Structure 1
Amino acid sequence: MNHSKAVVVFSGGQDSTTCLFWALERFGEVEAVTFDYGQRHKLEVEVAAAIAKEQNVRHHVIEMSLLGQLAPNALTRDDIAIEQQEGSLPTTFVDGRNLLFLSFAAILAKQIGARHIVTGVCETDFSGYPDCRDVFIKSLGVTLHLAMDYPFVIETPLMWLNKAQTWELADRLGVLEFVRQRTLTCYNGIVADGCGNCPACTLRRNGLNEFLIKQGREGASR
């Protein structure tokens, strides 16, 4: 472990919670930041706060409801269905979300003397989201450094992992069951294994099944 400081962009979901434990293993001091952008399920913020408290991680919540107003999407609007038409982005994509989240996380990081910003973005299972691509992260890292004259490092431990490999990482960190039982990934706001039907639940369950079968364990239900 080194003794530098990190800020984790933290939603309380599978990916960001795995990243939180990854950061806790690697950095001397870790803080988490959650963004309240008007998402339909406020439980997301509550789950993140509960996990951070249990892990004795200082937790910041930043209000960003303007994002939901500027970029209507299925995660903030009940009247927009969760769907993806061929050749277009899913309705769960929020324009500018990672750009804004990481920019605000960087501002926070500089104020508290943290160089490292940890995010769970992933180009392998990214549903076509352009702001989950490695090229975007590298570009933003340069921009943030230039904007604030501060040596940020954006850490992306999941960038080249599929969901099965993300579960494998959680297992290596000794938190697979914690991540499975305590996190909220479901687009319908159901903790743990979720509704089982939405795209997020399907991706999560398929990845878990693939990992468990590879390990010779029993597969996930549903």
Structure 2
Amino acid sequence: MKKAVVLLSGGLDSTTCMAVAKSEGYQLYPVSFDYGQRHNRELALAKKVATYFEAKDHKIFTIQNVGGSALTDSNIDVPEYEGDGEIPVTYVPARNILFLSYALGYAEVIGAEAIYIGVSSVDYSGYPDCRPEFIEAFQQVVNVGTAAGVKGKGIDIKTPLMKLSKADTVKLGLELGAPYHLTTSCYKGGEEACGVCDSCVLRLKGFEEAGGEDPIPYKSK
């Protein structure tokens, strides 16, 4: 059976990617990361999502926290949604470069054909490592910098959400039975999502426009 590594954060987008990968016939090998984020709630939920999808294996890698982000430094406040087009303080330096590098090494070891990552360039916070240009560049790294790439076996970086709005992502996930009740998107990591950070606002907007009801609790909507 063909194998896929899925970057799984415990959030809406990565959970949707799990559902897509499963629907496309892959055996699932999700990977999650402890990178010094403010809370471990997302990792706890990632474990539940992996179990829900009956993943073959679920790796959690620990990466040294380099700071410089509101998501990894308690001295930097998580801002409310601004949507001004600027790269927000919730950007974690080089995060997807690191995540994909770990996922790539793991994919080579297990003989996976694909790596799924839930990035989108439509409804997103403006992070540079979520754009098509970044994925295209990393795919080139895969092709020339790995044994699999040099031998022509290839490992495809799959971004099924890249051109989807958050509403379209929600619709896709609901169609595929994604367990959104097991997810969190809030940057603050509470039992109840804050409803006002970038991630919460975009998630709520997606459910509203999709005509669905978000199954997780919020302090404010």
The residue number in structure 2 matching 1:63 is 62
Query: Which 5+ residue runs of structure 2 have no aligned equivalent?
Result: 149-153
- Residue 114 (structure 2) aligned to one of 113, 116, 124: 116
Distance 1:51 1:219 in 2: 16
The residue number in structure 1 matching 2:134 is 136
How many pairs are equivalent? Answer: 209
Kindly state the Cα deviation for residue 190 of structure 1 after the two structures are TM-superposed. Answer: 3.2
Deviations 1:135-171 (A, max 9, x none): 1101101112211131110000100011101111012
Distance 2:45 2:138 in 1: 28
Asked if 1:157 is matched to 2:155, the reply is no
Read off the aligned partner of 2:203 and give its amino acid letter: R
Instruction: Describe the shift of the 1:93–1:7 C-alpha distance in structure 2 as closer, same or farther (beyond 3 A).
Output: same
Q: Secondary structure at the match of 2:58?
A: strand
TM-score by length of 2: 0.88
Distance 2:173 2:83 in 1: 32
Distance 2:84 2:172 in 1: 32
Deviations 1:83-132 (A, max 9, x none): 36956410100111001100110000000010200000111122211110
Asked if 1:94 is matched to 2:92, the reply is yes
Read off the aligned partner of 1:62 and give its amino acid letter: F
Distance 1:207 1:73 in 2: 25
The residue number in structure 2 matching 1:77 is 73
1:7·1:117 contact (CA, 8 Å) conserved in 2?
Answer: yes
Distance 2:33 2:14 in 1: 13
Query: Which 5+ residue runs of structure 1 have no aligned equivalent?
Result: none
Kindly state the Cα deviation for residue 54 of structure 1 after the two structures are TM-superposed. Answer: 2.8
Q: Secondary structure at the match of 1:197?
A: coil
The residue number in structure 2 matching 1:204 is 203
Q: Secondary structure at the match of 1:196?
A: coil
Distance 1:88 1:146 in 2: 33
1:18·1:170 contact (CA, 8 Å) conserved in 2?
Answer: yes
Question: Runs of 4+ in structure 1 displaced over 4 angstroms?
Answer: 84-87, 217-221
Kindly state the Cα deviation for residue 24 of structure 1 after the two structures are TM-superposed. Answer: 1.0
Q: Secondary structure at the match of 2:47?
A: helix
Distance 1:145 1:55 in 2: 29
Kindly state the Cα deviation for residue 219 of structure 1 after the two structures are TM-superposed. Answer: 8.5
Instruction: Describe the shift of the 1:7–1:219 C-alpha distance in structure 2 as closer, same or farther (beyond 3 A).
Output: closer
The residue number in structure 2 matching 1:146 is 144
TM-score by length of 1: 0.87
Tell me which moved more, 181-190 or 85-94: 85-94
Instruction: Describe the shift of the 1:4–1:40 C-alpha distance in structure 2 as closer, same or farther (beyond 3 A).
Output: same
Distance 1:87 1:21 in 2: 30
Of structures 1 and 2, the one with the larger relative CO (CA 8 A, separation 6+) is 2
Sequence identity, in percent? 39
Q: CA RMSD in A?
A: 2.0
Q: Secondary structure at the match of 2:29?
A: strand
The residue number in structure 2 matching 1:7 is 5
